[in-house]
Amino acid sequence: MLIARSGVVVVANVSFRTDDETKAQAAELFRDLGLDMSTAINMFLRQSIASNGIPFTPHRGNSASAVARAEVESRTGASFSSVAELMADLNEAD
């Protein structure tokens, strides 16, 4: 949205393609959040500009693998000096 010197809001129309299922699921999600599709897309565009990039980290995999990857990268996970120690720890979890 741009505001011209005359104070009139200048609006551009944007068109994009997506499949019907994605559109329906997104519309339902946004409706539950109190948003319409246009508002949600505008929020995405403005946040992209504010963060100078995509406002989320695209990744592949499920949340369990993301948690495991973060644990490995942060080096906060447990470490063991032997297989026996590892097995003892695993058996304690049961």
pLDDT digits over 14-65, tens only? 999 999 999 999 999 999 999 999 999 999 999 999 999 999 887 666 677 7
What residue spans define the domains of the chain? 2-51, 63-93
Tell which wins on pLDDT, 81 or 9.
Answer: 81
Residue 71 has pLDDT above 90, yes or no: no
β partners of residue 2: 10
Lowest-confidence region among 4-8, 26-30, 63-67, 76-80: 4-8
Sequential DSSP letters for 19-59 = -HHHHHHHHHHHHHTT--HHHHHHHHHHHHHHHTS-SS---
**Taking residues 73-84, what's their average pLDDT?**
85
Q: Which amino acid is at 17?
A: R
Tell which wins on pLDDT, 78 or 16.
Answer: 16
